[in-house]
Amino acid sequence: MSSVDPDATAIGLSVLRKGGNAVDAAVATAAALGVTEPYSAGIGGGGYFVYYDAKTRKVQTLDGRETAPAAMPHDAFINPATGTPYRFTPELVTSGVSVGVPGTPATWQSALDRWGTLSLGKALAPAAKLAANGFVVDKTFRSQTLDNATRFAAIVPTAKLFLPNGDAPLVGSTFKNPELAKTYELIGRKGLAAFYTGPLAQEMQNVVQNPPKTPGTTLPVMPGHLTTADLAAYKLLKQDPTKVSYRGLDVYGMAPSSSGGTTVGEALNILATKELSKETTTQALHLYLESSALAFADRAAYVGDPAFTNVPTKELLSKGFGAERACLIDPEKAAVKPVLAGSPDGSYTPCEAGTIADDRPDNEGLSTTHLTTADRWGNVVAYTLTIEQTGGSGITVPGRGFLLNNELTDFSTVYNPTDPNRIEPLKRPRSSMSPTIVLKHGKPFLALGSPGGSTIITTVLQTLTNRVDRGMSLPKSIAAPRASQRNTPNVTAEPAFIEAYDAGLKPLGHNLVLAGDALTSAAEIGAATAIEFLPYGAFVAAAEPSRRGGGAAGTVHQIWSE
């Protein structure tokens, strides 16, 4: 199995070693990540769970995305005093208005009920112990805390938990979260009702509607709309995955409300018309960047919550539409960005020019986390979960030890009735999370995913093409330097990518600039985890060697490592 954290991976491996299956290990690992990666994931957020069942040989998914409260107004992100949008930072990022109804606890319970062997209480027990005993603080945890120190200091329970004595926990110290341990024990003992109803639900409503601000803070920390009724009414969605065929492989992903499956899938359909394995490195990267820009144009124009907008998922993933879009790629020159979205209407016209322009800024947070698990029976999980920005809303539920998400910032800031990602009550905001499972002849070949906001899509796409088209091993596919083209004039890239490929890509019109989050200085893209399935039941489990402090991968019976 593979995750971004060694303690979490160790817990997952322990579950597998004791006879648990891939789903048991995934839930236990996710709960542990809520302890060691509290700024990226936890029970205050949501995510997408993709599962391959070895008995049925089918891929199934769970949509545990956060939802907007029932009282969420269309103009929630507009300042009534000025009539203009609130500033993303600091007004929306650190606020109650950005908090959606969490879906993570419901995801864990549903996954265990459908496919697991452990009770929720037993799956949460190792993480509860980890929270009580603590973990060793590393550089990443301290730097993420410091990056968010102003936000955290503005909210009383957050400052108390994560900034003891006014400073971030020191590297090498032990960070304990006994409040979270008790919360896990409560949910494990009483089930989902303990989270979605009762005192804890009331406490979440209270802290969102009346954030406990520190006296003297300059941050507004605006109140939000979450209620106990919203929490009690939350519904997990069970739906079919997306699917495309690529180089003889079947690639399964997450359907809307996520844009991951459609955008990765469309880009692969575009690339399927090319022979990347026969191209030079520069040309292969050019095609990768151009296909991503085209797919992102269609993502912006058409993808949102299908309960509120008619998403043409089938057409976006059709070979005909992919070929239509591929025809627009000039092998000698990058298109001027943003490119126009196409017309996925079922009438395929080669090289048909786009019709819809979209140059709205992308505010999706670069945090989040991903884990990948597999078991001795051949079951596989790819699970991406999040609380959005690093540190989510910055609001900790008092006495409960977890942060609430700021996922509603994924909605478009200005309401437009034609925008598929417009704000609506009870709606799921569009996501880029892209947990992916790849089958070869009906059996698992790869499972992967990554954090990184909208760069999740490009990280998964680049890792797939590295492995499938460019002949890299899985560990090298993950470690390779990254760039992300999301239909913008500039290509965000890591320093090593710029150093290696700028000289070849710049003459083609690609302007490479350093990647980085608005809330941190890290010039990194993603933090992938993956598993490759080898003959005779062997696995290669791989994680980032250095991004976000490095991940952790392992198998119960290790045969070899690279």
What does the block give as tokens for 405?
């998400």
Select from 332, 295, 281 the least CA-distant residue to 502. Answer: 281
What span, in angstroms and rounded, lies between the C-alpha atoms of 419 and 361? 14
What span, in angstroms and rounded, lies between the C-alpha atoms of 10 and 420? 41
Question: Contact at 8 Å (CB) between 386 and 42?
Answer: no
Question: Contact at 8 Å (CB) between 180 and 105?
Answer: no
| Known active-site residue 520 | no
Residue with tokens 């998922």: 313
What span, in angstroms and rounded, lies between the C-alpha atoms of 478 and 551? 11
- Residue 73 to residues 98, 404, 406: CA-CA distances in angstroms? 12, 20, 16
Angle between helices 281-302 and 495-505 (to 10 degrees): 110
What does the block give as tokens for 481?
């330097």
What does the block give as tokens for 311?
């998403």
Select from 295, 266, 307 the least CA-distant residue to 65. Answer: 307
Catalytic residue among 227, 242, 368, 384: 368
- The secondary structure element, H or E, covering residue 238 is strand 237-239
Task: Tell me the pairing of strands 436-440 and 443-449.
Answer: antiparallel
Task: Tell me the pairing of strands 490-493 and 511-514.
Answer: parallel
What span, in angstroms and rounded, lies between the C-alpha atoms of 104 and 71? 21
List the beta bridge partners of residue 244. 251
Question: Contact at 8 Å (CB) between 164 and 153?
Answer: no
What span, in angstroms and rounded, lies between the C-alpha atoms of 140 and 130? 18
Question: Contact at 8 Å (CB) between 290 and 485?
Answer: yes
- DSSP letter (8 states) at residue 116: -
Task: Tell me the pairing of strands 539-543 and 529-533.
Answer: antiparallel
What span, in angstroms and rounded, lies between the C-alpha atoms of 232 and 362? 31
Question: Contact at 8 Å (CB) between 526 and 547?
Answer: yes
Question: Contact at 8 Å (CB) between 39 and 391?
Answer: yes
What span, in angstroms and rounded, lies between the C-alpha atoms of 516 and 328? 30
What does the block give as tokens for 154?
């503005």
Catalytic residues: 368
